[in-house]
Amino acid sequence: MKTAICSLVVGDRYERLFRKFVFETWQNYSRHHGYELHIFRKPFVELPQKSWAWQKLFILDQPQTRVFDRILWLDSDILIKAGSPPVEAPDGFIGYVIDARRYQTVSEWYAQFNLPSAREVVQTGVLLLQPEHSGILKSAVHYSETRMYEMPALSRCLSDSNLGHHLDPRFNAVINRLLLDYVPRRILERKSLKELLWMIRYSPLRKGLHNVCEQNWFLHAAGAKRDLIKVSQFLSNSQRSDDRVESHQ
């Protein structure tokens, strides 16, 4: 099947971050698996009082994407580790990763956004789509903006579609969420404290990031610029180490 990786990057600040830390990892992954890469720089539609994140609801309606059998949507702050496998789902299904709840039930999570509950919570940063899924995506546009942008509305619509195929969670590893296995929540919620502990080489934090990067494929900073930078540095250092090993073999 003909597949494209797509995302939206709007504004100089986000363009700089994407170009410096993300783009090359996507380019290498696309080349390895024979995918095309399409990065959009302008919003698809006018959505007053909604963040750019809602634009993904219209990705399947673009002339550039209609020629593909599958679209792999990635949020623009996801780094792809070298050697990552292809993302696959059965024909007709939507591939996504479940966002496992730690401190809430699924119902409680939806209730905080004034939404009825659904079967599951979908992490919407990675979506494997087909052209016929356009209506499902756009059904979320009527919901209100939230502090988690489009995710609650789109999560509910995807879950209710009954077309979800659960991808391996390594395809959408949200850094701050996975660091909870190593570092207390109060540290991760305070950016200044987290950065200070990183600077003084706080062992649980560094070990946690190392393990998260080692054990996953698509590493999602979820808006955390510092995490994006640190993951990029880890991947670069890891690649240099691999290159040195190969040169001595």
* Domains of the chain: residue spans and CATH: 3-247 (3.90.550.10)
The rounded distance, in Å, linking the Cα atoms of 137 and 62 is 13
The rounded distance, in Å, linking the Cα atoms of 133 and 89 is 13
* Locus of tokens 């996953």: 216
3-state secondary structure of 72: strand
pLDDT at residue 247 is higher than 60? no
Full DSSP string of 120-147: --EEEEEEEE-GGGHHHHHTTTTSPP-T
pLDDT tens digit string along 138-160? 999 999 999 999 999 999 999 99
pLDDT tens digit string along 175-210? 999 999 999 999 999 999 999 999 999 999 999 999
Higher-pLDDT residue of 245 and 70 is 70
The rounded distance, in Å, linking the Cα atoms of 93 and 104 is 27
Beta strands in 41-168 (DSSP E): 70-74, 78-80, 94-98, 122-129, 164-166
* Beta bridge pairs of residue 95: 128, 165
Q: In what order do the strands lie in the sheet with 36-40?
A: 36-40, 3-8, 70-74, 122-129, 94-98, 164-166
Model pLDDT, residue 245: 41
pLDDT at residue 244 is higher than 70? no
Tally of CB atoms within 10 A around 171: 26
Main-chain phi, psi angles of 124, to 5 degrees: -90, 10
Model pLDDT, residue 243: 54
Helix axes 191-199, 203-215, angle to 10 degrees: 90
Cα 6 to chain centroid, rounded? 12
The rounded distance, in Å, linking the Cα atoms of 39 and 10 is 10
pLDDT at residue 52 is higher than 90? yes
The arithmetic mean of pLDDT across residues 115-136, rounded, is 98
Higher-pLDDT residue of 1 and 105 is 105
